[in-house]
Amino acid sequence: MSHPELRQTTGLEDTARRSLMSLIFSATGLTIGFFSLLQFAAGNYLFASLEVLTCAALLAAGRGVYRARRLELWIYLYLLPTFAFLVYISLMPDASAAAFVWLYMIPLLAYLMLGQRRGFWLSVPLLLASLVLYYLRYPLPDSAAEWIDAGNAIICGLLILVFVHLYEYRRAAAFAVVEQQAQTDPLTGVASRRHFQLEVRRALQEAGRSDSPLVLALMDIDHFKAVNDRHGHDAGDHALQYVCRLLLQRLRSTDSLGRLGGEEFGLLLRSTDAASALALLESLRALIDAQPLRYKGEQIPLSATFGLAEWPRDGRGADDLYRCADQRLYRGKSQGRNRVVAESAPHAEQPRQES
């Protein structure tokens, strides 16, 4: 029952990523700010001033990253100079032999900010290159004790890499499950109300940019209470799932289907005008009408009423389109149900009254 368009991100991961980046930028800025004080105290004014500037830039980036459009660019603008700096301080002429521990930050930061695949491809080559440079700079160990020291450092780095890789793998998998659940109606598998509404708003922005029409349709199964009352709630659940399957069979990959609540569904038909939508929805209506649900040896007849609104003809905002489609759906119900309504009544209509 999966439909490609129902698999878009809700932005959950994006928000989490931005707040993590903000934290990392700010923490790095404050750390560098602290070191700038030490540099001032040591009389290294040029270095100290550069560190103050870097600190200010990172603190500003920590605030600005929430609005950043090209997030990837911000990540690489942070990671590449940071990694170059970490490699430098580990290998600079007067570095202590223990300064290499800063290299362990590389996989942590790369995985945190880039995720598993790109984190791996950025950090592993860099760590290997740093290892080679380190042993060009320092002679190879020549005693058992020195080999043990080197072994500790390498094995510790390797374990950090393996653990961060496994951690990120599990985190991403858990996040995907949570995101999927937030986007999906658990009974029917179509988009949840919240996700569908998000898709409508996104589609309206795209339609505004490309200036191509779009149709929002609302569909309500007729006399659904009677299905529950006569055949039981379980039959009602099967009917909801069945109707969704029928709809998804016919909808195009660019269309979206969401459950707005109870037995009401939303259909989003991108790049479609009212005339083509009417033909499509009419075929969906006829399909539901012609194919009763088979449930425990019984045939349960089903039908549905549709109301549709076209962007920009019937409104430019999501609320206007919902209101218009809802009025037409209500009109279809009052005209006898099992129909598609694409036009408003000649006179102004009252908003639909909830029973």
Ligand X SMILES: Nc1nc2c(ncn2[C@@H]2O[C@H](COP(=O)(O)OP(=O)(O)OP(=O)(O)O)[C@@H](O)[C@H]2O)c(=O)[nH]1
Stretch that binds ligand X, among 2-10, 30-38, 222-230, 290-298 (CB under 6 A): 222-230
Cα–chain center distance at 30: 30
Instruction: For the CB of residue 322, give the shortest distance to ligand X in the complex, in Å.
Output: 17
Residue 64 or 262: the one with the smaller Cβ distance to ligand X is 262
Residue 17 or 337: the one with the smaller Cβ distance to ligand X is 337
Interaction of residue 151 with ligand X, rule CB under 6 A: no
CA distance 234 to 275: 37
CA distance 314 to 232: 39
- For residue 75, give both structure tokens: 């990540």
Interaction of residue 310 with ligand X, rule CB under 6 A: no
CA distance 209 to 214: 12
Residue 204 or 240: the one with the smaller Cβ distance to ligand X is 240
Stretch that binds ligand X, among 32-40, 52-60, 196-204, 232-240 (CB under 6 A): 232-240
- Closest residue (Cβ) to ligand X? 236
Binders of ligand X in range 178-197 (CB under 6 A):
187
Stretch that binds ligand X, among 16-24, 50-58, 127-135, 217-225 (CB under 6 A): 217-225
Q: How many residues bind ligand X (CB under 6 A)?
A: 17
Residue 28 or 305: the one with the smaller Cβ distance to ligand X is 305
Q: Which residues are registered as beta bridge partners of 259?
A: 265
Interaction of residue 298 with ligand X, rule CB under 6 A: no
Interaction of residue 233 with ligand X, rule CB under 6 A: yes
Is 119:110 a contact under the CB 8 Å cutoff? yes
Q: Phi, psi (5° rounding) for residue 296?
A: 45, 50
18, 165, 171, 333: which one contacts ligand X (CB under 6 A)? 333
Instruction: For the CB of residue 241, give the shortest distance to ligand X in the complex, in Å.
Output: 10
Interaction of residue 222 with ligand X, rule CB under 6 A: yes
- For residue 4, give both structure tokens: 């490609």
Instruction: For the CB of residue 119, give the shortest distance to ligand X in the complex, in Å.
Output: 42
Is 327:293 a contact under the CB 8 Å cutoff? no
- For residue 125, give both structure tokens: 């080559």
Give the DSSP letter string of 31-91. Answer: HHHHHHHHHHHTT-HHHHHHHHHHHHHHHHHHHHTTT-S-HHHHHHHHHHHHHHHHHHHHH
Binders of ligand X in range 334-353 (CB under 6 A):
337
118, 223, 231, 352: which one contacts ligand X (CB under 6 A)? 223
Alpha-helical regions (H) of the chain: 12-41, 45-64, 71-91, 105-137, 144-183, 193-210, 224-231, 233-250, 274-290, 318-334
What SS3 state is found at 186?
A: coil
170, 194, 201, 225: which one contacts ligand X (CB under 6 A)? 225
Interaction of residue 262 with ligand X, rule CB under 6 A: yes
CA distance 166 to 98: 27
25, 134, 224, 311: which one contacts ligand X (CB under 6 A)? 224
8, 44, 82, 228: which one contacts ligand X (CB under 6 A)? 228
236, 258, 315, 332: which one contacts ligand X (CB under 6 A)? 236
Instruction: For the CB of residue 247, give the shortest distance to ligand X in the complex, in Å.
Output: 16
Instruction: For the CB of residue 194, give the shortest distance to ligand X in the complex, in Å.
Output: 17
Residue 39 or 188: the one with the smaller Cβ distance to ligand X is 188
Residues 6+ apart with CB under 8 A from 143: none
- For residue 126, give both structure tokens: 């860099």
Q: Which residues bind ligand X (CB under 6 A)?
A: 187, 220-226, 228, 233, 236-237, 240, 262-263, 333, 337
